[in-house]
């Protein structure tokens, strides 16, 4: 259990908010890998105003971390100290459609986009529906698949800075590149506005179904995984390097390389975060030794080692 400040002492130092404070929440219940230690404090803000009040009044020496949908992340076994912010209230899941634009709250699950696209005959974001996680997380990593990335469809985002101020930031200021951005760590994404265009519900459903079928056939499905583990080096494919380096059969404790797609690591049921991270580092080392290419983690690793 984390005891950076002492849970009761930490709670006493936090501003009184309209949202909720939860303590020692097991993050394995909030992440796709199903591993990791506790959040010392989890804060669920009620709305933008509540979050702004918290940011303005929270002591500066208390570490803050924003948790999205729990995909593309590995929380270490020692957990996350300070306050973990999760935008999980209805206020952060709103959707607004205007002309050829759709604005989605940061806490909206990507898969929930489907009904808005179909019901309003809008296309262009089907690829995003198939990526695990929530809308807010898609911007920081410039998430993408099926030949599209967030940078291809984003117009702007409303963010909250470290002073609690809300700003609208155009896409040009995020410096989006392959699975990367110049997004300041102190900013919190509130909502994102995407460009869309009209199409028939039938065509939209067809694209969604084709993409889902591809995912099921070629990637681990209904298993504890966080998505692609490593970024593709320029001009190369991570899975090919892993296979060429004979890493596709590796395992550590309860963690193993997926038999269906070797750029995915799997928690078979009893893995620790340490097992998964050790396996990933083992793959990086073996690939470098065999191919002279250094793989880079796509999954974000956070928290304290235990």
Give the model's pLDDT for residue 6: 66
* pLDDT at position 232 over 60: yes
298 tagged catalytic: yes
The CA distances from residue 293 to 238, 248, 258, 261, in Å, are: 10, 16, 21, 19
Mean pLDDT of 40-60: 97
Give the model's pLDDT for residue 24: 86
149 tagged catalytic: no
Q: If you average pLDDT over every residue of the chain, what do you get?
A: 95
* pLDDT at position 249 over 60: yes
Give the model's pLDDT for residue 160: 98
Q: pLDDT digit string (tens) for 89-123?
A: 999 999 999 999 999 999 999 999 999 999 999 99
What DSSP string runs through the chain?
---SS-HHHHHHHSPP-SSEEEEEEEGGGSSSS----EEEEEEE-SSHHHHHHHHHHS-TTS-EEEE-SS-SEEE-TT-EEEEEEE--SGGGS-EEEETTEEEEETTSBGGGHHHHHHHTTEES-HHHHTSSSBHHHHHHTT-EETTEEGGGTEEEEEEE-TTS-EEEEEGGGS--BTTB----TT-EEEEEEEE-EE--HHHHHHHHHHHHHHHHHHS--SSB--S--BPPPTTS-HHHHHHHTT-TT-EETTEEE-SS-TT-EEE-SS--HHHHHHHHHHHHHHHHHHHS----B-SEEES---
Mean pLDDT of 220-239: 96
179 tagged catalytic: yes
State the catalytic residue, choosing from 179, 245, 272, 277.
179
Mean pLDDT of 279-291: 98
Spatial distance between the Cα atoms of 237 and 83, rounded to a whole number of angstroms: 37
Q: pLDDT digit string (tens) for 61-93?
A: 999 999 999 999 999 999 999 999 999 999 999
* pLDDT at position 4 over 60: no
Give the model's pLDDT for residue 3: 52
Give the model's pLDDT for residue 156: 98
Radius of gyration of the chain measured on its C-alpha atoms = 20
Angle at the Cα of 283 from the Cα atoms of 280 and 284, rounded to 5 degrees: 90
Domains and CATH numbers, the chain: 7-90 (3.30.43.10), 93-218 (3.30.465.10), 238-302 (3.90.78.10)
Q: pLDDT digit string (tens) for 138-190?
A: 999 899 999 999 999 999 999 999 999 999 999 999 999 999 899 898 999 99
The CA distances from residue 112 to 78, 102, 118, 135, in Å, are: 32, 13, 11, 10
* pLDDT at position 1 over 50: no
Give the model's pLDDT for residue 159: 98
Spatial distance between the Cα atoms of 306 and 303, rounded to a whole number of angstroms: 10
State the catalytic residue, choosing from 138, 228, 245, 272.
228
């Amino acid at each position: 259990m984390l005891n950076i400040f002492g849970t009761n002492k930490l709670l006493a130092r936090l501003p009184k908010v309209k949202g909720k404070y939860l303590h020692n929440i097991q993050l394995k219940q909030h992440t796709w890998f199903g591993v990791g230690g506790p959040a010392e404090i989890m804060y669920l803000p009620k709305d933008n105003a509540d979050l702004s009040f918290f940011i303005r009044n929270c002591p500066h020496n208390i570490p803050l971390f924003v948790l999205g949908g729990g995909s593309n992340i590995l929380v270490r076994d020692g957990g996350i100290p300070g306050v973990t912010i999760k935008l999980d209230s209805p206020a952060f899941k709103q959707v607004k459609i205007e002309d050829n634009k759709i604005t989605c709250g940061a806490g909206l699950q990507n898969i929930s986009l489907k009904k808005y696209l179909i019901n309003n005959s809008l296309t262009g974001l089907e690829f995003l529906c198939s990526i695990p996680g929530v809308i807010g997380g898609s911007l920081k990593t410039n998430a993408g698949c099926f030949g599209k990335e967030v940078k291809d469809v984003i117009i702007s985002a409303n963010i909250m800075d470290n002073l609690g101020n809300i700003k609208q930031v155009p896409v040009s200021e995020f410096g989006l590149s392959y699975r990367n951005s110049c997004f300041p760590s102190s900013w919190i994404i509130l909502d994102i506005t995407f460009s869309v265009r009209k199409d028939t519900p039938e065509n939209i459903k067809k694209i969604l179904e084709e993409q889902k079928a591809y995912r099921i056939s070629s990637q681990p499905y209904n298993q504890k995984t966080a998505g692609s583990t490593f970024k593709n080096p320029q001009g190369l494919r991570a899975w090919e390097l892993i296979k060429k380096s004979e890493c596709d059969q590796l395992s550590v404790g309860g963690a193993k390389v997926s038999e269906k797609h070797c750029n995915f690591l799997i928690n078979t049921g009893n893995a620790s975060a340490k097992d998964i991270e050790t396996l990933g580092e083992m793959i990086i080392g073996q690939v470098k030794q065999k191919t002279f290419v250094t793989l880079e983690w796509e999954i974000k690793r956070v928290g304290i080692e235990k």
